Chain A
Amino acid sequence: MSLLSDIGQFLLMLKGMFKRPEKASMYWKELMHQCMEIGFGSLGIVAIISVFIGAVSTIQTAYQLVSPLIPLTTIAQIVRDTVILEFAPTLVCIVLAGVAGSRIASELGNMRVSEQIDALEIMGINTRTYLILPKIAAAMLMIPLLVIIAMALGIWGGRLAGTAAGIISPNMFDKGLADDFLPYNVFFALVKGYVFSFIISSIPAYFGYHVRGGALEIGRASTKAVVVSCVLILFADYILSALLL
């Protein structure tokens, strides 16, 4: 019953977002602010994770490919496909659910508890449109870009680790990257990026916007938002893989 009620309220929240803005320039300003917060605010952690995941992938792939019959370029191919298909979109988005998702939930939760949302309502502002829509739009603009950056940095990290450990030469790695490259994989990763970015922004917005109580409830809402977002990302990952691959 509670799940159905939550789904109903979530859909009503989404419906309520699509109202005419009171002043377009203020909404544009808020969208840019959210792009900075979600996009640039998460760039550092995305870069670190991507480089290390790529590096570890290269070393572990090389560790398992011991047969002399398998060409070294295969390492690069495996790293490329794993990073593009799974690590960049899924792992990065799970991390972003923690970074950006908890920020969205706690920001809205704090605004709700300290009556800032009520203050906006009294001013005659549609708070769903002003507070939630720019966050979802910013996430859907910036997170796919972060996924692309994660792909590039992951592959670069793999190349760097392979060279530094003497596993594979840079030329050999580059050759492996170009072999049997399927652009569709990038498209698939971007589809995942868009779906996950919607989950990362809308679920925490729902939990934050509907907080009742005090500081403790903000913390609970934030944790719940991250947990639910992560589970939904993994579920959506499976569905998309089954449908599109």
Chain B
Amino acid sequence: MIEVKNIQKKFGDKVVIENVSAQMKPGQCNLIIGASGSGKTVLMKCMVGLLTPDQGEIMYQGENFFAMDHEQRTNIRKEIGMLFQGSALFDSLTVEQNILFPLDMFTTDSSSQKLKRVNEALERVNLKDVNRKFPAELSGGMKKRVALARAVVLNPKYLFCDEPNSGLDPQTSLVIDKLIKDLTVEFNITTVVNTHDMNSVMETGDYIMYMYQGKKEWEGTRKDIIFSKNQLLNDFIFASEFLKDAKDMRMLEEAGKIPNVRNMDDMTRP
């Protein structure tokens, strides 16, 4: 479990994060949502130690990350996998070498064992015949999947995903969301996702924290969002008329006032 306790971060005089606290549990997708500039990426960077908060604590299994010595931090980082917004694959290495990199650095497995783990990771993200390709030869979705394979190849306890759907078409976004969700449940990973993709929120959000101007404005589950009266959250999530209508429909469904169309669809399907 990861606990965020009263985190504050300033850049110069500008307060970017103000007294944010949260609990991210294992086996579930913990989403940090908010508009651009709301501080969610800074919060994630504080959580993984790329930035040091001015105040507050980040607890991994009850231990404050910023009170740890270099070796303890390194050990925690070995348990962290991260999927970056731009994938952050090493340009000069092939797909196989990219995924091999953490294995080469941190394991004493034989070459054949490492190669087996690479192929398993690639299979897990539904990629094949790409081992010898360079990142420049892959599509955006494939790069994300390779980056996900690299992030999980060491079986991390914690997975951080910074805007995993940015720049992807809706269908590929769903594939990435499903992969993240499946991996989280399968390996009981504490997954933290930064996103402003509404599909992700509604499909994968077990715990959702909405940030507004550096503060935690709302938290709950994806079901809670439907019934939330928080105006800022509703304006952010259900920004278009189409989404507002969808929310109203969903509320009526949940209240049993209209039949659940998706369930009927399931029933009528041959």
Residues of chain A having any CB pair with chain B under 8 Å? 19, 22-23, 26, 110, 114-116, 118-119, 121-125
User: CB-CB < 8 A to B73: which residues of A?
Assistant: 124
Is A118 a contact partner of B106 (Cβ separation < 8 A)?
Answer: no
Is A122 a contact partner of B77 (Cβ separation < 8 A)?
Answer: yes
Is B104 a contact partner of A23 (Cβ separation < 8 A)?
Answer: yes
User: CB-CB < 8 A to A116: which residues of B?
Assistant: 88-91
Is A118 a contact partner of B91 (Cβ separation < 8 A)?
Answer: no
- Closest CB-CB distance, A18 to chain B, in whole Å? 13
B255 within 8 A of A: no
Alpha-carbon separation in the docked complex, A13 to B81 (Å): 26
Contact A118-B104, Cβ < 8 Å, known A123-B78, A124-B74, A124-B77: no
Contact of A123 among B77, B85, B86, B91 (CB under 8 A): B77
User: CB-CB < 8 A to A114: which residues of B?
Assistant: 86, 88, 91
Is B88 a contact partner of A115 (Cβ separation < 8 A)?
Answer: yes
Is B86 a contact partner of A124 (Cβ separation < 8 A)?
Answer: no
Is A115 a contact partner of B85 (Cβ separation < 8 A)?
Answer: yes
Is B50 a contact partner of A118 (Cβ separation < 8 A)?
Answer: yes
Is A124 a contact partner of B78 (Cβ separation < 8 A)?
Answer: yes
Is A123 a contact partner of B105 (Cβ separation < 8 A)?
Answer: yes
A-B contact count (CB 8 A): 54
B80 within 8 A of A: yes
Is B105 a contact partner of A22 (Cβ separation < 8 A)?
Answer: yes
User: CB-CB < 8 A to B160: which residues of A?
Assistant: 122
Residue among A22, A114, A116, A123 with most chain B CB within 10 A? A123
Between-chain CB contacts (< 8 Å), 28 pairs: A19-B70, A22-B74, A22-B105, A22-B106, A23-B104, A23-B105, A26-B104, A114-B86, A114-B88, A115-B84, A115-B85, A115-B86, A115-B88, A116-B89, A118-B84, A119-B84, A121-B49, A122-B80, A122-B81, A123-B101, A123-B102, A123-B105, A123-B106, A124-B73, A124-B74, A124-B75, A124-B77, A124-B106
Residue among B70, B86, B88, B106 with most chain A CB within 10 A? B88
Taking A115-B88, A124-B106 as known contacts, 20 extra A-B pairs with beta carbons closer than 8 A to each other, sorted by chain A number, are A22-B105, A22-B106, A23-B106, A26-B104, A114-B86, A114-B88, A114-B91, A115-B85, A116-B88, A116-B89, A118-B82, A119-B82, A119-B84, A123-B77, A123-B101, A123-B102, A124-B73, A124-B75, A124-B76, A124-B80
User: CB-CB < 8 A to B91: which residues of A?
Assistant: 110, 114, 116
Is B82 a contact partner of A122 (Cβ separation < 8 A)?
Answer: yes
Alpha-carbon separation in the docked complex, A84 to B78 (Å): 50
Minimum-distance CB pairs A-B, first 7: A124-B77, A115-B88, A119-B88, A124-B74, A122-B82, A115-B84, A124-B78
Contact of A26 among B76, B85, B90, B105 (CB under 8 A): B105
- Closest CB-CB distance, A33 to chain B, in whole Å? 9
User: CB-CB < 8 A to A19: which residues of B?
Assistant: 70
User: CB-CB < 8 A to A123: which residues of B?
Assistant: 77-78, 101-102, 105-106
What 0/1 pattern do residues 79 to 110 of B give for CB contact below 8 A with A? 01110111011110000000001101110000
B209 within 8 A of A: no
Alpha-carbon separation in the docked complex, A124 to B88 (Å): 15
User: CB-CB < 8 A to B82: which residues of A?
Assistant: 118-119, 122
User: CB-CB < 8 A to B88: which residues of A?
Assistant: 114-116, 118-119
Is B50 a contact partner of A121 (Cβ separation < 8 A)?
Answer: yes
Alpha-carbon separation in the docked complex, A123 to B90 (Å): 13
- Closest CB-CB distance, B85 to chain A, in whole Å? 7
Which residues in chain B, 151-197, are within 8 Å of chain A measured between CB atoms? 160
Q: Which residue of A lies closest to B78 (CB)?
A: A124
Alpha-carbon separation in the docked complex, A122 to B80 (Å): 7
Residue among A115, A116, A122 with most chain B CB within 10 A? A122
B48 within 8 A of A: yes
- Closest CB-CB distance, B168 to chain A, in whole Å? 17
Q: Which residue of B lies closest to A117 (CB)?
A: B88
User: CB-CB < 8 A to A110: which residues of B?
Assistant: 91
Alpha-carbon separation in the docked complex, A22 to B106 (Å): 8
Q: Which residue of A lies closest to B92 (CB)?
A: A107
- Closest CB-CB distance, B90 to chain A, in whole Å? 6
Alpha-carbon separation in the docked complex, A211 to B175 (Å): 34
User: CB-CB < 8 A to B48: which residues of A?
Assistant: 122
Alpha-carbon separation in the docked complex, A116 to B49 (Å): 15
User: CB-CB < 8 A to B84: which residues of A?
Assistant: 115, 118-119
User: CB-CB < 8 A to A118: which residues of B?
Assistant: 50, 82, 84, 88
